[in-house]
Chains A and B, each alone.
Chain A
Amino acid sequence: MTVKEFELPDVGEGIAEGELVSWQVSPGDTVSEGDIVAEVETDKALVEVPSSYDGTVKELFAEEGEMVPVGDVIISFNVEEPEAGDAEAEAPDTENKPGESTEEAKTDTEEAASAETPDGRVFAPPAARRLARELGVDISDVEGSGPGGRVSEADVRAHHEKAEEHDETAAETPVNPAAEDESAGASAGAAASTTATSGEAAREKTLAVPATRALAEELGVDIDAVPTEKTRDGQPFVEREDVRAFAQSGGEAAEAATASASATGEGAREETVPYRGVRRTIGEQMAASKYTAPHVTHHDTAVIDELVETRADLKETAEEKGTRLTYMAFVLKAVVAGLKEYPILNSELDEEEGVIRLKNYYNIGIAVATDAGLMVPVVKNVDEKGLLELADEINDLATRARERSISPEEMQGGTFTVTNFGAFGGEYATPIINHPETAIIGLGAIEQRPVVEDSEVVPAHTLPLSLAIDHRVIDGAEAAKFTNTVKEYLAEPTKLLL
Chain B
Amino acid sequence: MVVGDVTTGTEVLVVGAGPGGYVAAIRAAQNGLDTTLVDRDAYGGTCLNYGCIPSKALISATDVAHDARNATEMGVHADPVIHTDEMQEWKEGVVDQLTSGVEKLCKANGVNLIEGEATFVDDSTARIAHGGEGQGSETIDFEHAIVATGSRPIQVPGFEFEHDPIWSSRDALEVEEPPEKLLVVGAGYIGMELSTVFAKMGVDVTVVEMLDGILPGYEDDVSRVVKQRADDLGIDFNFGEAANEWEETGDGVVVTTENEDGEESTYDADKVLVAVGRQPVSDSLDPEAAGVEVDEQGFIPTDDQARTNVENVFAVGDVAGEPMLAHKASKEGIVAAEVIAGEPAALDQQAIPAAVFTDPEIATVGMTEEEAEEAGFTPKIGEFPFRASGRSLSTGEDEGFVRIVAEEDAGFILGAQIVGPEASELIAELALAIEMGATLEDVASTVHTHPTLAEAVMEAAENADDQAIHTLNR
Question: Which residues of A are interface residues toward B (Cβ below 8 A)?
Answer: 118-119, 121, 123-126, 129-130, 133-134, 146-151
Contact = CB atoms under 8 A, between A and B. Distances in A.
Contact of A148 (B344, B376, B377, B411): B411
A133 B437 contact: no
Contact of B376 (A119, A130, A134, A149): A119
A123 B375 contact: no
Interface in B409-463: 409-412, 435-437, 439, 441
Interface string B346-363: 101110000000000000
- Chain A CB within 10 Å — which of B345, B349, B410, B411 has the most? B410
B344 A123 contact: no
Given A118-B376, A119-B377, A148-B410, A134 B344 contact: yes
Contact of B344 (A118, A130, A146, A147): A130
Contacts of B345: 130, 133
Contacts of B410: 123, 147-150
Contacts of A149: 410
A129 B435 CA distance: 10
25 contacts: A118-B375, A118-B377, A119-B376, A121-B375, A123-B410, A123-B412, A123-B437, A124-B437, A125-B435, A125-B436, A125-B437, A126-B348, A126-B349, A126-B435, A129-B348, A133-B345, A147-B410, A147-B439, A147-B441, A148-B412, A148-B439, A150-B410, A150-B412, A150-B437, A151-B437
- Chain A CB within 10 Å — which of B344, B345, B346, B441 has the most? B344
A119 B375 contact: yes
Contacts of B375: 118-119, 121
A321 B411 CA distance: 71
Give the dominant DSSP class at A's interface.
Answer: helix
A228 to B, nearest CB: 23
A121 B412 CA distance: 11
Nearest to B350: A121
Nearest to B434: A123
Contacts of B346: 133
A445 B151 CA distance: 87
A20 B73 CA distance: 78
A130 B435 CA distance: 12
Nearest to A128: B437
Nearest to A149: B410
B265 to A, nearest CB: 45
Interface residues of B, number: 18
Contacts of B436: 125-126
Given A123-B410, A147-B410, A148-B410, 4 more contacts: A125-B435, A125-B436, A148-B409, A148-B439
Contacts of A123: 410, 412, 437
B373 to A, nearest CB: 10
Q: What are the nearest 8 A-B pairs in CB distance? A: A148-B410, A118-B376, A123-B437, A119-B375, A133-B344, A125-B436, A150-B437, A134-B344
Contacts of A146: 437
A403 B102 CA distance: 80
Contacts of A148: 409-412, 439
B430 to A, nearest CB: 15
A134 B375 CA distance: 28
B410 to A, nearest CB: 2
B171 to A, nearest CB: 40
B464 to A, nearest CB: 14
A178 to B, nearest CB: 42
- Chain B CB within 10 Å — which of A118, A123, A124, A150 has the most? A123
A128 B277 CA distance: 37
A143 to B, nearest CB: 14
Contacts of A134: 344
A5 to B, nearest CB: 15
A121 B407 CA distance: 11
B319 to A, nearest CB: 25
A16 B345 CA distance: 34
Contacts of A121: 350, 375
A129 B375 CA distance: 21
Nearest to A133: B344
A443 B70 CA distance: 108
B154 to A, nearest CB: 32
Nearest to A130: B344
Contacts of B344: 130, 133-134
B315 to A, nearest CB: 21
Nearest to A134: B344
A129 B436 CA distance: 10
Contacts of B376: 118-119
B440 to A, nearest CB: 11
A146 B377 CA distance: 19
A249 to B, nearest CB: 35
Contacts of B409: 148
A147 B377 CA distance: 17
A392 B376 CA distance: 60
A129 B345 CA distance: 10
Contacts of B348: 126, 129-130, 133
Contacts of A125: 435-437
Nearest to B367: A119
A129 B437 CA distance: 11
Contacts of A118: 375-377
A125 B377 CA distance: 20
A167 to B, nearest CB: 20
A179 B377 CA distance: 49
Nearest to A119: B375
Interface in B317-359: 344-346, 348-350
A123 B436 CA distance: 7
Nearest to A124: B437
B86 to A, nearest CB: 44
A125 to B, nearest CB: 4
A146 B410 CA distance: 10
A140 to B, nearest CB: 12
A123 B346 CA distance: 17
A445 B175 CA distance: 108
Nearest to B378: A118
A119 B372 CA distance: 9
A147 B436 CA distance: 12
A151 B435 CA distance: 12
Nearest to A135: B344
A209 to B, nearest CB: 14
Nearest to B412: A123
Contacts of A133: 344-346, 348
A149 B410 CA distance: 8
B244 to A, nearest CB: 43
Nearest to A127: B436
Contacts of B377: 118-119
A118 B410 CA distance: 13
Nearest to A152: B437
A150 B348 CA distance: 16
Contacts of B349: 126
A121 B375 CA distance: 10
A124 B349 CA distance: 10
Contacts of A150: 410, 412, 437
Interface string B12-26: 000000000000000
A134 B410 CA distance: 28
A121 B437 CA distance: 10
B39 to A, nearest CB: 30
Interface in B271-292: none
A470 B339 CA distance: 53
- Chain B CB within 10 Å — which of A133, A134, A148, A149 has the most? A148
Nearest to B371: A119
B245 to A, nearest CB: 47
A195 to B, nearest CB: 31
A156 to B, nearest CB: 13
B469 to A, nearest CB: 23
Contacts of A129: 348
Nearest to B346: A133
A496 B412 CA distance: 75
A125 B350 CA distance: 10
